[in-house]
Amino acid sequence: MKKGFTLIEILVALFITMIVLAIGYFTYIKIMKGSLFQSSISSTQISTLSGTSLLQYDISMSGYGLPLSGPIETPLNFHEATNSTASAYNYSTLPASAYNIGQNSQTQPNSSYLVIRSSIADINSASQKWAIAYYNTNTNNWDIDYNPDNSLSNFSSNDNDYCIVMDSNKTLLENPNGNFYFNFSDFANSINNLNLNQSQIYLIYGIDSTVQPRMPFNRVDYFLSQDNLPSFCDPNTYELYRSVISQNNGSNTLMPLLDCVKAFFVESKIGNNWYSSTSNLTPNIINSQTQLIKVFIF
């Protein structure tokens, strides 16, 4: 005859089983927390690399495709940012500086506010494109080199992207309606009727694929803000933002780059001097005498 378990024995066995399960559960939670922590570190490292690489790219491309003067026939006026902070760095006529450095008084201590202008600052399908127009003396017609070696930067004759056109002196070409921009297909199809200077080579830079530009360049701003600061950050730190100024209405499209940033400082060497603010410098001095830009993030 087999002897069964008593109630006491069953309760003791259940108690021991619960202890084993509890130990296993907390070990699992500890492992999972460690795994999540490691995953968080990896994501942060990737985010850091992406953020700083994008900042480095924007700085290195500042001034790319930036016209130096407007059409001689008609004074050029344009509009940049509408946000109160961003608008402090606006220009309304050319020349405009390839970048500006200012002070961000919304952080403690004051950090930098960086503005970058180039045709490719807003990275979109149009801004990656460029081409060259020249007069072909063999055919007595204007030709456009569509840059066939790179499909990303390759215009096609039926592209409806908005672009700017400037001569080799970086003077903007005015379209027949008196605007500083062209629809690329319109320009390509009417180039022989535009009375262009046959001794000039014209540079064509894409600006936007959807809207008529309000600026003859694209613009992006970098600054610190505590808006949407992640809860895991120290409350005395900030989010580093990349803000694209819209060609449609001048509004800001914010992109968070780095979390938990304590400070963001930018300095540039212009001539023989270092500047943490370019507010007293003219665009011509900034564009022609900048030697180096340093960025400190910690």
Q: What is the pLDDT of residue 43?
A: 40
Q: What is the pLDDT of residue 31?
A: 37
Q: What is the pLDDT of residue 6?
A: 56
Per DSSP, 86 falls in state G
Q: What is the pLDDT of residue 151?
A: 54
pLDDT in tens, the chain (298 residues): 455 555 555 555 555 444 444 434 444 334 343 433 343 334 444 344 467 888 999 999 999 999 999 876 566 789 999 999 999 999 999 999 999 999 998 888 889 999 999 999 998 889 989 999 999 999 999 999 876 565 555 788 789 999 999 999 999 999 888 899 999 999 999 999 999 999 999 999 999 999 999 999 999 999 999 999 999 999 999 999 999 999 999 999 999 999 999 999 999 999 999 999 999 999 999 999 999 999 999 9
Q: What is the pLDDT of residue 27?
A: 41
CA distance 177 to 166: 16
Per DSSP, 13 falls in state H
Q: What is the pLDDT of residue 14?
A: 53
Q: Are 147 and 153 in contact (CB under 8 A)?
A: yes
Any idea where the domains of the chain sit in the sequence? 59-65+80-118+218-297, 130-208
**DSSP states of 237-292:** -EEEEEEEEPTTTS-EEEEEEEEEE--EEEEEEETTEEES--TTS-HHHHHHHEEE
Q: What is the pLDDT of residue 50?
A: 67
Whether the upstream peptide bond of residue 109 has omega within 30° of 0, thus cis, is yes
CA distance 280 to 83: 22
